[in-house]
Structure 1
């Protein structure tokens, strides 16, 4: 996972070891995530959770394909496996952003 200067995903790879639902979500994500911002990915995650838990319509825009998993809402035990690819990608984006942010802490090493 790498990000461009605007914080958009410009390189993405995944090694999916999941059930069919996790693979389906990962497949949609893999086809659409290049060019996405952390805000878009966060909105997609939130829309997925709303779709699964409270009758929401699901993600819009580039991640609209995840709506194909709307029927999973009827199977609460499968919600986590459906969300794993989105959550893992969001974690990776946040980690990449953290690497790009300079550490402004001062070191106490050598302080008298």
Structure 2
């Protein structure tokens, strides 16, 4: 009977991976908006997931408290790429508060079984199967964390010039 256990475990792992890497998730990962780098951005932040080595570099410009130009260089697994895709589709026009809220909601969605992040970031629902893969959460959070931190840099720079 113990000889059957590895086969069952292997079959279960295959089923779990098929759920994790759904067609919707892979489609997001394959089509990441706003990739590349900006020339002379107001802020640039690189975030790295220490466990897997995934990185996301975000460049952005802010005017009137909203993101007006954005680019991201994504070197991550399919989960990190899918998360960057959702961000790239909706980041233009967002405020720093909206980015911080989306990042907090995504973290709660993954780590605390919270609700799907609110509009316009409800596309993160495609990452629902990743809740069970705690070692992947950091990669999923990279793009939003980098965007939030880059936005904060522009606010800090504005505060310094207004002092």
Give TM class, smaller chain: 0.7 to 0.9
Q: Is the 8 A contact 1:44 1:58 kept in 2?
A: no
Q: TM-score, normalised by structure 1?
A: 0.87
Q: Is the 8 A contact 1:26 1:85 kept in 2?
A: yes
- Runs of 4 or more consecutive aligned structure 1 residues displaced over 4 Å after TM superposition: none
Cα distance in 2, alignment partners of residues 37 and 67 from structure 1: 21
Gaps of 5+ in 2: 1-59
Could you say which structure has the larger radius of gyration?
2
Q: Of 111, 114, 117, which aligns to 1:53?
A: 111
Gaps of 5+ in 1: 105-112
Aligned length: 103
Residue aligning to 1:107: none
Cα distance in 2, alignment partners of residues 68 and 60 from structure 1: 13
The residue correspondences of 1:33-52 to structure 2 (distance < 5 A) are 33-52=91-110
SS at match of 2:72: coil
Q: Of 61, 68, 91, which aligns to 1:2?
A: 61
Cα distance in 1, alignment partners of residues 145 and 116 from structure 2: 15
Q: RMSD over aligned Cα, in angstroms?
A: 1.1
The residue correspondences of 1:70-89 to structure 2 (distance < 5 A) are 70-89=128-147
Cα distance in 2, alignment partners of residues 96 and 70 from structure 1: 32
Cα distance in 1, alignment partners of residues 137 and 148 from structure 2: 17
Give how far 1:49 is off: 0.8
